Copies of this chain bind each other. A is one copy, B any other.
């Protein structure tokens, strides 16, 4: 997989600037780059990551590369099995991921009901309405909006733990290549459910909000599973 390590960014880090702005910038940068490449499948699951190659290709030493890999390991994106290997999310894992999402997003939505301001709800409504234009949008754009909606609700829970846990599940979620997501009817259903959640949110009914959120995640689970089986 060395070839896939972004041929397009030959020397950033110009002449070994070594700019060290307080906290480790290099490691953070390497981490971000690697993570992006992994999540976009530019580096495929299962491929080996060699410290020297990354370090050479990015023009940094092995130490920041090492730290980046360590962080990726903590995020569950790579593992150390006789060298660094990009983790893959198998079908069996999907059920586990969605179970987590039900628990996390369900309760986060409950909390959001108690804490969201009317301005927050307006923002969410704007997102939902934007998603109504699914007929004229790319699936990627739709996906982005969808993600934004869920992310924002979780953030509105006001609890950073939920944000972190949610983010963690997203890694694995992205990690399975979702074949065809967001057919037209799926988009319709998604928007319907988003409106249900939003309705509960704005009427301040936590039970309803949690119930709808759970149902929505369950629906998505079903869609994903069907897509993978079919």
Chain A interface (Cβ within 8 Å of chain B)? 22-23, 66-67, 70-71, 74, 80, 82, 96-97, 99-100, 102-104, 106-108, 111, 157, 159-162, 165, 168-169
**Complex Cα gap A74–B27 (Å):** 14
Q: Which chain B residues lie closer than 8 Å to A157 at the CB level?
A: 99
Copies of this protein in the assembly total 2
Docked CA distance A169–B162 (Å):
11
Check B70 against A103 for contact (C-beta < 8 Å): no
Q: Which residues of the partner chain B approach A74 to less than 8 Å between Cβ atoms?
A: 70-71, 74
Task: Kindly state the separation between the CA atoms of A134 and B117 in the bound complex, as whole angstroms.
Answer: 46
Query: A104 to chain B: which residues have CB within 8 Å?
Result: 103
- What's the Cα separation between A22 and B83 when bound, in Å? 10
Given A70-B67, A70-B70: A99 and B103 within 8 A (CB)? no
Q: How far is the CA of A100 from the CA of B164 in the complex (A)?
A: 11
Q: How far is the CB of A156 from chain B (nearest CB, A)?
A: 13
- Give A24's nearest chain B residue, CB to CB: B80
- Complex contacts, A169 vs chain B, CB 8 Å: 161
CB pair A23 B100 closer than 8 Å = no
The closest CB in chain B to the CB of A97 belongs to B161
Could you tell me the distance in whole angstroms from the C-beta of A67 to the nearest C-beta in chain B?
Answer: 6
A94 to B99, CA, bound (A): 25
Asked if B103 and A23 sit within 8 Å, CB to CB, the answer is no
Q: Which of B82, B102, B106, B165 contacts A165 (CB 8 A)?
A: B165
Contact A161 B70 (CB under 8 A): no
Shortest Cβ distance from A27 into B: residue: B70
Set of chain B residues within 8 Å of A165, measured between Cβ atoms: 100, 165
Contacts of A96 in B (CB 8 A): 159-161
